[in-house]
Amino acid sequence: FINSDEGSGERYAIHDAPMIKGMSGGPVIANDGSIVGINVGFFSTTLHDVSFHPGVKGAERISIFIPYSIIQREWGLMQA
């Protein structure tokens, strides 16, 4: 899930690849081999209630990442 609506205020996306502690900062790789973002963490339904988002209803665990488009935009702002 990537919310492409810039007005949404959401600056994250989720994926279903398993993550463990220590994987934050690693790349998120798409099926075609392209890098689509950087892992920042995960939520487990055994630890948190993630039912607030319709895209994760029934999920036992979700992994969270920052999309490359957001990273690229923020990096550009820092370069100015």
Question: What's the confidence (pLDDT) of residue 73?
Answer: 84
pTM, entire model: 0.65
DSSP string, 25-54: TPEEE-TTS-EEEEEEEEEETTTS--TTSG
* 27 — pLDDT class (breaks 50, 70, 90): very high
Is residue 48 pLDDT above 80, yes or no? no
User: Percent of the chain scored above 70 by pLDDT?
Assistant: 65
| pLDDT band with cut points at 50, 70 and 90 for residue 72 | confident
